[in-house]
Amino acid sequence: MGSNQYTRDLYGREVDGWYWCLLEESFEHHARTFRACGKELAASIADQLAKTAADVPAQLMQEFQDLWNGLEDYPDGQSPANLRMDAMMESFTSGYSPDDATAFVLEFIRRLTGARPS
């Protein structure tokens, strides 16, 4: 029996389901914020990503969450992960529109780690 990509990583370890909830809530929060500022296009992008957050494969979700380790070292919310997330969300207002949450997570990982696409 193979691993379920939506609950287990490539090693068969279960990934905490809370991670998907956090991602979905982050998109929803940004959608509300954009909408309150009259930025409807950005809000609709964030809404669409929230709807696809549960589809991010477990391996990617674990790698994404691992980049948030050490937040306690940045009590002002200025961790590299926070800054990158805020910048990527804000870029919805200038045309960045990933296909789904998986594409967003992949791009976040690439940008934060400096990995180059193959």
Listed by start position, the domains of the chain span 18-113
77-84 long-range contacts (CB < 8 A, ≥24 apart) are 80/112, 81/112, 84/108, 84/111, 84/112
- Please state the rounded mean pLDDT for residues 23-28: 97
pLDDT of residue 68: 85
Count Cβ atoms within 10 A of the Cβ of residue 115 and give its class: 0-12 exposed, 13-18 middle, 19 or more buried: exposed
For residue 1, pLDDT over 50 is answered with no
pLDDT of residue 74: 73
pTM over 0.95: no
pLDDT of residue 75: 73
